[in-house]
Amino acid sequence: MSLLQLPEETTVLMEETPKPGEGLKILIADDHEIIRVGTNAFLRSKLKCAACLEAANGRIAIKIAENERPNVVIVDIALPGLNGLELIEQIKRVSPESEVMVLTGNTSEGLIRPAFEAGAKSFLLKVEAATYLVEAVLTVAEHRFFLTPLVHKVLHGAPEPKAKTKKEAAVRMSTREREILQLVAEGKSNKEVAHLLGISVKTVETHRAAIIRKLKLKSISDLVRYAIRHHYIEP
């Protein structure tokens, strides 16, 4: 019998490589269904997750995070109603043990430092996902930072970006004001904003006036330009 031949009755058992990440609960917040579903499928193929949850916007993500307490929340920056930077801060409030990482198609390096300041543990571009996503999720789940070469360069090799003007640098807005700023910039009426946030129209009007005053803006067009410049919405 050839050394390369096996008896007919011989059964060859191939051991499957065990998947890492057993028991992890992951939440994916992205308003593009194809990205959510694709990321979910990719992670399930690589990791032995206990659950891989999805949210189509930031407000749904907050509710899921509060109820499910995921180990890792993956957020996009450009989310309607509540942008990724605001979402990071709010998730850390409702579920402090959850770690948050950014997965975005926005290549602006000016977003990286604010994301980490908001509480993110990693920042990935979507074009980097196939290379880094699994390792990033496992690292972040252990409450450690995961930095790609690009992010490391921005955080440690480049000077901190300066504000556009001293006037803008001095502006401080509350979380509610930032929420209303984004919704108004997205074209929502006062009534729509009130409904989304569960507050009165009068309260929306008061906050809106305060925003215009603080930012020293003259029109809604100015407000929209400010929102685009500071990444509340995409152009």
Question: Using one digit for the tens of pLDDT, what is the confidence trace for 205-215?
Answer: 998 888 888 88
Region 121-142: what's the mean pLDDT? 94
What is the pLDDT at residue 42? 95
At 12 the pLDDT is 53
Give 163 or 46, the one with higher predicted confidence: 46
- pLDDT tens, 48-67? 888 999 999 999 999 999 99
**DSSP three-state, residue 17:** coil
Q: State what percent of residues in the chain have pLDDT above 70.
A: 86
CATH architecture assignment, domain 25-157? 3-Layer(aba) Sandwich (3.40)
What is the mean predicted confidence (pLDDT) over 178-194? 87
Q: How many helices (H) and strands (E) does the chain have?
A: 11, 5
pLDDT digits (tens, 9 = 90+) for 152-166: 887 776 555 554 443
Closest-CA residue to 235 (of 218, 227, 107): 227
Question: What is the mean pLDDT of the segment spanning 120-136?
Answer: 93
Residues 6+ apart with CB under 8 A from 129: 39, 42, 103
Check pLDDT > 90 for residue 45. yes
Burial (0-12, 13-18, 19+ Cβ within 10 Å), 33 = exposed
Q: What token pair was written down for 23?
A: 């028991």
Q: Which of 32-41, 91-100, 185-194 is predicted with the least confidence, judged by mean pLDDT?
A: 185-194
Most confident segment among 93-102, 111-120, 220-229: 93-102
| 17 Cβ contact partners less than 8 Å away, ≥ 6 residues apart | none
CATH of domain 166-229: 1.10.10.10
Q: What letter represents residue 70's amino acid? A: P
State the average pLDDT over residues 117-126. 92
Higher pLDDT, 192 or 7: 192
| Predicted local confidence at residue 22, as pLDDT | 86
- Label residue 17 by pLDDT band (50, 70, 90): low
Domain spans of the chain, in order of start: 25-157, 166-229
